[in-house]
Amino acid sequence: MVSKKQSPGIRPTKNMQTKDSNLLSVGVILPVFDETDSISEVTGKLEQALGPHLEEILIIVSPKSQDETKKICAELAKKKNIRMEIQEDNPGLGPAIKQGMASLKGSGAILWIDSDGEADPATAKLMVEAMVRKNADLVVASRWLNGRAGFIGYDNTKFFLNYWFRNILKVIFMTPLSELTYGYKLFRNKPILQQMNWESRWHDIATETTLKPLVFGFKPAQVPTVWTKRKEGVSKNPFKNNFRYVYRAAQIRLLSLTRAGRRKMLKPRSTNL
């Protein structure tokens, strides 16, 4: 019921092209820590969901991952459309996403989905369709849309705080998006995306990678999705870390008010203000 509440064997970048040049090619960032069974499940479902749009799945593995996790990822990386990289800057989810963005800079679009099985890979198909149909630059998977969206097994306190926080952010950033704190999203790989200075080290990267593109004029869209509590392992995002989302959102809003502030949100020598 849905309720509302580089090491041996690592290959170089493939930069593969889809057979049809009119197709939107999608590179996937899949950050991995200590997951095991869910990694194969997520990659398999992504291949089905994205079909000919899939360029490659880039698995970013933490060097602190258990041996079993690394073994599973290395085995998956033998497939032609899956590549593996060891996370270079540690610790944290933020550097993994930043590394993935840079490594997939040749893709037409970049999808971020976590490997813990909480995000529904089938939603990726809807995200690509929405990007193409609406000519969107950023498509977020929303757990808050009416209809097929929702939560299964979500913490009640986090649900309540998330509900109010995202409503406040909607007003502050004047956006129709109902989801502003979730890491499941699809970016059109515009030049400005590669110029952005991603600062978050922890899970607040989820908020940063939505709000900064909005500040720089990305056309947004959203599709419904269902979040399901992970079946294995434990979350690396404890409750106290949620306050980082507040700090990151406030920082971005203040920087967005001035030209000098917007310049700070980009890498040095970027001029797209």
Tens digits of per-residue pLDDT, 92-120? Answer: 999 999 999 999 999 999 999 999 999 99
Whether residue 114 lies inside any domain: the answer is yes
In a domain, 21, yes or no: no
Residue 12 lies in a domain: no
Question: Residue 9 domain-assigned?
Answer: no
Distance CA 247, CA 105 (A): 28
* Residue corresponding to tokens 């089938």: 122
- Give the chain's domain count: 1
Tell whether 71 is covered by a domain: yes
Please tell me the predicted confidence (pLDDT) of residue 116: 95
Whether residue 134 is contained in a domain is answered as yes
Label residue 12 by pLDDT band (50, 70, 90). very low
**Alpha-carbon separation of residue 117 from 121, 242, 247 (angstroms):** 8, 20, 27
pLDDT over 70 for what percent of the chain? Answer: 88
Full residue range of the structural domain in which residue 101 is found: 26-264
Number of residues written out for the chain: 273
CATH number of 74's domain: 3.90.550.10
What is the per-residue pLDDT across 122-139, written as a single tens digit (0 to 9) for each? 999 999 999 999 999 999
Look up residue 270 and give its two tokens. 């970027």
- Report residue 194 as tokens: 């590669």
87, two tokens: 């996370």
Asked if the structure places residue 218 within a domain, the reply is: yes
Domain assignment present for residue 139? The answer is yes
Q: What is the 3-state secondary structure (H, E, C) of the chain?
A: CCECCCCCCCCCCCCCCCCCCCCCCEEEEEEECCCCHHHHHHHHHHHHHHHHHEEEEEEEECCCCCHHHHHHHHHHCCCCCEEEEECCCCCCHHHHHHHHHHHCCCCCEEEECCCCCCCCCCHHHHHHHHHHHHCCCEEEEECCCCCCCEEECCCHHHHHHHHHHHHHHHHHCCCCCCCCCCCCEEEECCHHHHHECCCCCCCCHHHHHHHHHHHCCCCEEEEECEEECCCCCCCCCCHHHHHHHHHHHHHHHHHCCCHHHHHHCECCCCCCC
Q: Tens digits of per-residue pLDDT, 167-180?
A: 999 999 999 999 99
pTM across the whole model? 0.89
pLDDT in tens, 178-212: 999 999 999 999 999 999 999 999 999 999 999 99
Cβ contacts of 20-24, under 8 Å, gap ≥ 24: 20/52, 23/52, 23/53, 24/53, 24/108, 24/109, 24/128, 24/131, 24/132
Tokens 């540690």 sit on residue = 90
Strand ranges across the sheet with 138-142: 82-86, 54-61, 26-32, 109-112, 185-188, 138-142, 220-224
Average pLDDT over residues 68-81: 97
